[in-house]
Amino acid sequence: MSSSVLGSITMGYEPVWDQWRKRIGVRLWLDPESSSAVDANHLIESLQELWPARREICLLHPRAPGLLSDLLEHNVATNIWLEVPHAWLGDALLAGRIRKAHQRGVKLVWGGEPGENPREEEAGWFHTAMLSLTAQDALGALRAALRQSHEGGNHGSRHTQSPVHAGQFYESLASQALVEHALDQQHVRGVAGWPAEEMLYAYRYRQIQPARQVLLDLVHSIDADESLEALEHTMGNEPLLCYRFLRFANSVALGLRNEVSSLRQGLMTLGYSRLRAWLMEQLPHASADTNLDPIRHAMVLRARIMERLADAGVEDDLRREVFLCGVFSQVDLLLGENLGAALHRLPLPGRVASAVVAHTGPYSPWLEVAAALEGRNTKVIREVCRAHQIATDEVNRALLRSLATA
């Protein structure tokens, strides 16, 4: 039954980040495949079964009033919140269901256009709001951020009033300065999406380094004599480290007889002692910039989704190959160089380069689907899945399971 309901809806996702740049939840765009009703109760059961996000918020954003209306009729888990577009509140029947859902304790999130806020008479129905800034508000926020910096973060000053309000969600913040103002100065609940290109622009004149925390985690794992699988998974959480590790494993200085084309092969070949020594060499130069964490997370999540899509009937070695295809598909953003040239330095199978650079080959459909899921355009997601004849329920299942393990 779970398969049938997951096959009747198209999902896209958008992570939500907190002040520490950790994922506190995911916004799921839900678009019914047709005008026929979606079994809301079984949809909720499927979400809880595949992604039991007890410590995360699962923020559902229905694209159809009928689906929202059905979801409002059910008692959902405390971690499942429903986003209600302001434009739909004019429907008296839907508004009545919203009031009743609020009385039953369902967490509701108001959503509107840039610059809009909930009306006073409706604000009490909602636990919080998903807000966005107009261009004028963004300018006001930047000015407030600058004044707060000059005044030493004195939020009580009447001169530092900001259009960004504490305790709310914000989406589509277009710059690093706005994100830092919202999360670090105004203490908003969370930020949906991440201005990755603008964050990376700050590194245009300097080299990005692997994340310090991942390096420390790997060293601690080696000291605790954890399994090879655990080391492989941890290293896989840092795309730049994966790339540098394969470069190192295939370097002339190391002098290995055979080419190393996977993380697993490299870990087995080097052994724990030599791996630990190499990691310790990386630590003095490692990055502690948490603004890069959401960017790394997005790259790894894409790879995990591809890995799940390839899961059925694929051997472990090929599944690892698919993961590398996903995790290296955007590594040029971290390296600051041409993607084709970067991948050419590694002895990767031709299938990986074909998918990442030429958008062809057996892995290309999985890469295209995983990339499409990162956007809000559910129509494009649906078209990509149909073009590659990948079942909707298979894609949704891969997405939800990847969210549970990422």
Angle in degrees, 0-180, between the axes of helices 364-372 and 378-387, rounded to the nearest 10: 170
CATH of the domain at 93: 3.20.20.450
In a domain, 239, yes or no: no
Residues 6+ apart with CB under 8 A from 18: 24, 183, 189, 190
In a domain, 311, yes or no: no
In a domain, 281, yes or no: no
In a domain, 307, yes or no: no
In a domain, 366, yes or no: no
> What range does the domain containing 115 cover?
1-195
In a domain, 189, yes or no: yes
From the list 198, 231, 204, 192, the residue with the least C-alpha distance to 215 is: 231
pLDDT, position 314:
65
Residues 6+ apart with CB under 8 A from 307: 319, 322, 323, 326, 402
Dump pLDDT digits (tens) for 299-329.
999 999 999 999 755 678 888 999 999 999 9
pLDDT, position 102:
95
Dump pLDDT digits (tens) for 272-307.
999 999 999 999 999 999 999 999 999 999 999 999
In a domain, 283, yes or no: no
Q: How many domains does the chain have?
A: 1
Q: How far is CA 213 from CA 220, 335, 405, in A?
A: 10, 19, 18
What whole-number distance in Å separates Cα of residue 307 and Cα of residue 371? 13
Give the pTM.
Answer: 0.93
Section 168-173 average pLDDT: 97
pLDDT, position 2:
45
Which region among 124-138, 304-318, 362-376 has the lowest average model confidence (pLDDT)? 304-318
In a domain, 178, yes or no: yes
From the list 183, 188, 176, 79, the residue with the least C-alpha distance to 130 is: 188
